[in-house]
Amino acid sequence: MRIRVTTRADLYEQRKREHIDRGYRIEDERPSPVNGFSSFIAVRELSVSDRFADAVVAALNSYHAARGDW
Protein backbone atom coordinates (compact mmCIF):
# COMPACT_ATOMS: atom_id res chain seq x y z
CA MET A 1 0.00 0.00 0.00
CA ARG A 2 1.29 3.43 -0.97
CA ILE A 3 -0.08 6.68 0.40
CA ARG A 4 1.03 10.25 -0.13
CA VAL A 5 1.13 12.15 3.14
CA THR A 6 0.87 15.92 2.88
CA THR A 7 1.31 17.88 6.08
CA ARG A 8 2.16 21.33 7.33
CA ALA A 9 5.88 21.93 7.07
CA ASP A 10 6.27 22.35 10.84
CA LEU A 11 4.76 18.87 11.45
CA TYR A 12 6.70 17.08 8.69
CA GLU A 13 9.25 15.24 10.90
CA GLN A 14 6.58 14.25 13.44
CA ARG A 15 4.29 12.77 10.76
CA LYS A 16 7.20 10.95 9.15
CA ARG A 17 8.22 9.44 12.52
CA GLU A 18 4.61 8.34 13.18
CA HIS A 19 4.47 6.47 9.87
CA ILE A 20 7.85 4.84 10.42
CA ASP A 21 6.71 3.70 13.88
CA ARG A 22 3.64 2.09 12.28
CA GLY A 23 5.80 0.05 9.91
CA TYR A 24 5.82 2.20 6.78
CA ARG A 25 8.88 2.79 4.63
CA ILE A 26 9.33 6.42 3.51
CA GLU A 27 9.91 7.28 -0.15
CA ASP A 28 9.87 10.39 -2.33
CA GLU A 29 10.44 12.87 0.48
CA ARG A 30 9.65 16.50 -0.29
CA PRO A 31 10.60 18.31 2.93
CA SER A 32 10.91 21.73 1.28
CA PRO A 33 7.55 23.43 1.83
CA VAL A 34 5.40 24.50 -1.08
CA ASN A 35 2.61 26.83 0.00
CA GLY A 36 3.38 25.80 3.59
CA PHE A 37 3.05 22.04 3.01
CA SER A 38 5.59 19.22 2.72
CA SER A 39 4.95 15.62 1.67
CA PHE A 40 6.29 12.10 1.43
CA ILE A 41 5.09 8.70 0.26
CA ALA A 42 4.60 6.03 2.93
CA VAL A 43 4.84 2.43 1.70
CA ARG A 44 3.88 -0.72 3.56
CA GLU A 45 3.98 -4.19 2.11
CA LEU A 46 0.87 -6.21 2.87
CA SER A 47 1.52 -9.48 4.63
CA VAL A 48 0.28 -12.73 3.14
CA SER A 49 -2.54 -12.90 5.71
CA ASP A 50 -3.67 -9.36 4.80
CA ARG A 51 -3.76 -10.23 1.10
CA PHE A 52 -5.65 -13.46 1.86
CA ALA A 53 -8.23 -11.58 3.94
CA ASP A 54 -8.69 -9.06 1.11
CA ALA A 55 -9.21 -11.92 -1.37
CA VAL A 56 -11.83 -13.54 0.89
CA VAL A 57 -13.72 -10.25 1.28
CA ALA A 58 -13.64 -9.65 -2.48
CA ALA A 59 -14.89 -13.18 -3.16
CA LEU A 60 -17.72 -12.84 -0.66
CA ASN A 61 -18.73 -9.46 -2.03
CA SER A 62 -18.85 -10.70 -5.62
CA TYR A 63 -20.79 -13.85 -4.58
CA HIS A 64 -23.45 -11.85 -2.77
CA ALA A 65 -23.59 -9.17 -5.45
CA ALA A 66 -24.24 -11.82 -8.10
CA ARG A 67 -27.08 -13.29 -6.00
CA GLY A 68 -28.45 -9.94 -4.92
CA ASP A 69 -28.35 -10.83 -1.23
CA TRP A 70 -26.83 -7.60 -0.05
**Predicted pLDDT at 49:** 63
pLDDT interval class at 48 (50, 70, 90): low
Which of 13, 38, 15, 18 minimizes the C-alpha distance to 28? 38
Quick one: pLDDT at residue 54?
A: 73
Mean pLDDT, range 38-45, rounded to an integer: 94
Q: What is the pLDDT of residue 55?
A: 76
Q: What was the pLDDT predicted at 65? A: 52
**CA-CA distance, 65 to 46, in Å (whole number)?**
26
Q: Is the pLDDT reported for residue 47 higher than 90?
A: no
pLDDT of residue 8: 97
